[in-house]
Amino acid sequence: MSEHLPQTPLISARNLRVTFGQTQALRGVDLDIYSGEILAVMGPSGSGKSTLLHALAGVIAPDSGTVECGGMVVSALSEAERSALRLSEFGFIFQFGQLLPDLSALDNISIPLLLKGMKRADALRQSRTWLDRLDLRGQGEKFPAELSGGQAQRVAIARALVGGPRVIFADEPTGSLDSLAAENVMVTLTELARSTGATVVVITHDPRTASYADREIMVRDGHISGGLPVAALGRA
C-alpha cells in the first residue's frame, strides 16, 4: 500500500456475517479499504469473495456486522437508499461486461448518467469523451456482439467511471479474456483509477490480475487473511 494513503479508511467492514441457507458465506470479516487504493480480493470459487464485494457495495445487507462508507453506515440503509448510494457513489464491472445487448456501446456508457437524470444529449456528449480515453474511437455505434471481449470490457470500464464514482467494484473483470486483453484491461482500469482518484476493489482468482493492486487479501471459507502491500508479497 502506498505510504501516502490516508489513515482513515473510506470503507470499513466490521464483523460481517452472511449466511445463505446452511452455508456461512462470511464469518465475521473485518476489513478497511482506503481512498485511492486498488485492493485485490483473491480466493477459490465458493470462498465468499463475491459475497464480500456485494456486502461492501450494499447489494446485499449482512445478517450482522456493519459496513461504513465515507462515514455512512451502508448496512443500516434501506434497499432503496442502498440503490441510490450505488448509483451516486459506486461503479461496477463484471466478468462478462453485462452490457445491454440491444444498445450501442455509446448508449451503454451513458446509462449511469441517464439514471441520474442527465439529459440524453448531454449524457451522450460526456460518454463520447470516454470512447476517446479508452481507445474506442469508431466503436460507439457498435452493439456488444460486434465488439471483441477486450473492447466490451473497456466499454464496461467507461460505463463504471463515467459518473465519477468514488469506488469501482470489479468482479472478475478479466475472467473471460485472453492474457493480452486481460493485461490491457487492467492497465486501462488502474491508470484511469489513478487519474480520477477512484478506489478500486477487484475480485479475482488470477495472480496476474492481482499484481496490479496496491494490496491483496485472501478469502477462504468466509474469513480473510493477508492485507500486506503486493510488493511485500513478492509481486511485481
160-206, pLDDT tens digit by residue?
999 999 999 999 888 878 888 888 889 988 998 888 889 999 999 88
pLDDT at 74 over 50: yes
Tell me what pLDDT residue 64 has.
94
| Burial of 138: CB neighbours in 10 Å, binned 0-12, 13-18, 19+ | exposed
pLDDT classification of 97: cutoffs 50, 70, 90: low
Q: Three-state SS for 134? A: coil
CB-hemisphere CA count at 13 Å for 233? 19
* Averaged pLDDT, 48-54: 92
pLDDT at 126 over 60: yes
Q: Which domains are seen in the chain, by residue range?
A: 11-233 (3.40.50.300)
**Distance of alpha carbon 107 from alpha carbon 144, whole angstroms:** 11
212-224, pLDDT tens digit by residue?
999 999 998 889 8
pTM value is: 0.87
Q: Is the separation of the CB atoms in 29 and 222 below 8 Å?
A: yes
pLDDT at 1 over 70: no
* Averaged pLDDT, 100-127: 95
